[in-house]
Amino acid sequence: MSETAPSAPSASPGRRARSERRNRWLLLTPAMVILSLAASGPLLVVLIYSVLTPGDYGGVEWRFSLDSWFAVVVERDFFTEELTLADAHLMVFWRSLKLSLCTALLCLIVGFPTAYFIATRPARRRDMWMLLIMIPFWTNLLIRTFAIMELIRNQGTVNTLLVASGLIDEPIQMLYTEFSVLVGMTYVYLPLMILPIYASMERLNFDLVEAGYDLYANRFQVLRRVIFPLVKPGVVAGSILVFVPCLGAYVTPRVLGGGKQLMLGNLIELQFGQLRNWPLGAALSLTLLAVVMVALIFYVRAIGQEGERDV
């Protein structure tokens, strides 16, 4: 190989390209090694595990079987061998989907006006407002979930205040319900909605809004017919950015749902913990991953539209 030859001061273009390529891969090596050992590699192992037979005490036996993939949606009756829909799984799927969609909607209702508010502040101040949105987001998710828990538990601030004011006689059970998971996820993921909507709105041309008013539109019509269509890619992006982590949420439903309001993430954990069915857990993980990937494709398309609009 020519690389082993002593290097001349003026290398030929071919050799320079080759050494550039070698340097590039040398530089990439540490990151690629770490990522293949602790990210991509293990993901491939999950794929393999999903088509193996569960072992008796967790783990797997190395026998090929597609049972786990069927078990994601159907259940085989232990005695009659009859196949029925796996109600328990479907209920968890449905709850995950429902709560994720509701969270995205709630975040949109709160986030859209907030993003609009920030985008209409003087340019100098906008960064500070956005920093205020981002600080909670970069702080510990568990702590934020925990803050909500303290607020709504039976002996928590909200119930204590309500009882003290005489509005209610007994604390309302809010914790460990779907409501508490919904509130928690909205609180935790709200910044993910505001960020992309704000990015769209910051570039909103208010001459167009003014033109709308000149054409005798009222405020609501301007909002619906002018502003909303212009920032729609941001709205779509934000909704997906909220929807995706909700779907795979684990900490929030565990803390605020108290093991009663299982979501997909908790169902996966159960298979690796108490239920000791690793292949089923692997199949469920990949199902979740597939849904997330589809959502992310829509996200990339929404971002793409955003770019086209600028041109």
Partner 1 sequence: MSKGFDVRRQPGFSTIAIACFVLLYLPILLLVVYSFNAGSSIAIWEGFSWRWYVSAWENEQVKDATIRSLVLACSASAVATFAAVLAALATTRSKPWRGQTVVFAMVNQPLMVPEIVTAVSLLIVFAAVKQVTGYTGLGFLILAHAAFCIPFAYMPIRARLQGMDLSLEQAGADLYGTPLRVFRYITLPQLWPGILAGSMLAFVISLDDVVITEFVKSAGQDTLPTYMLGQLRRVVTPEINAISTALLAISVVMVTGFFFVNKARK
Give the footprint of partner 1 on residues 277-296 (CB under 8 A).
278, 281-282, 285-286, 288-289, 292-293, 296
Q: Which is nearer to partner 1, 85 or 229 (CB)?
A: 229
Q: Which of 99, 83, 187, 199 is nearest to 144 (CA)?
A: 187
Q: Which is nearer to partner 1, 83 or 98 (CB)?
A: 98
Distance separating alpha carbons of residues 76 and 71, to the nearest angstrom: 8
Distance separating alpha carbons of residues 283 and 203, to the nearest angstrom: 43
β-pairing, 74-76 vs 83-85, is antiparallel
β-pairing, 52-54 vs 83-85, is unpaired
Site for partner 1 in 14-43 (CB under 8 A): 20-21, 23-25, 27-32, 34-43
Of the residues 195, 245, 283, 306, which one makes contact with partner 1 according to CB under 8 A: 245
CA dihedral (54, 55, 59, 64) positive or negative: negative
253, 181 Cβ separation under 8 angstroms = yes
What is the contact mask toward partner 1 in residues 58 to 97, using x (rule: CB under 8 A)?
-x--------------------------------------
The stretch among 93-101, 113-121, 230-238, 303-311 that binds partner 1 (CB under 8 A) is 113-121
Distance separating alpha carbons of residues 138 and 126, to the nearest angstrom: 18
Site for partner 1 in 43-62 (CB under 8 A): 43, 45-46, 49, 59
Of the residues 51, 72, 110, 172, which one makes contact with partner 1 according to CB under 8 A: 110
Q: Which is nearer to partner 1, 7 or 84 (CB)?
A: 7
Cα distances (angstroms) measured from residue 8 to each of 4, 13, 16, 158, 196: 12, 12, 11, 76, 52
Q: Which is nearer to partner 1, 84 or 221 (CB)?
A: 221
Site for partner 1 in 121-150 (CB under 8 A): 127, 131-136, 138-144, 146-150
Q: Which is nearer to partner 1, 196 or 265 (CB)?
A: 265
Least spacing, CB of residue 184 vs partner 1, in Å: 10
151, 162 Cβ separation under 8 angstroms = no
